[in-house]
Structure 1
Amino acid sequence: MGVSEELRALGDVVDRLAAKFPALSREYIEDVVQQEHSLLDTGRVRAFVPVLVEHAARDRLAR
């Protein structure tokens, strides 16, 4: 997965989470996604990063 594909996928993650958590601001959701992404940004295998970010962010937002 290239950088542009990964960024596009992360944008889709934000869209899905914003729809799932309408009571939360989009800016807050973007911040959480960005924080989770930064934790996984050092890995060499990128294919599953958006999925892992989405799962971690969803768990945090659901609390």
Structure 2
Amino acid sequence: MLGKSERELVADVEERLVKRFDQLPPARVSTAVLAAHTRFQDSSIRDFIPLLVERRVSAELAALS
């Protein structure tokens, strides 16, 4: 069985963050995830992108709540 793609892993991150920050509109979380993921589009090493996206967005959304 092959592992999940980066896109699938980032979608999993988004799902977790929507549940974690349920006081915020899901669209706000989605926008933050997309913006964070876009920041890493030119990175040559892709293995840790989902983790970095999750950390960045978690910090951003925690500051809002």
Q: TM-score, normalised by structure 1?
A: 0.90
Match of 1:44 in 2: 44
User: Given residue 41 of structure 2, which amino acid in structure 1 is its aligned partner?
Assistant: D
CA RMSD, aligned part only?
1.0
Matched residues, number: 60
Match of 1:22 in 2: 22
Structure number having the greater helix percentage: 1
Q: Which runs of 4+ in 1 moved over 6 A?
A: none
Q: TM-score, normalised by structure 2?
A: 0.87
Post-superposition offset of 1:41: 1.1
Unpaired segments of 5 or more residues in structure 2?
A: none
Match of 2:11 in 1: 11
Post-superposition offset of 1:59: 0.2
Using the aligned pairs only, state the percent identity: 28
Match of 1:62 in 2: 62
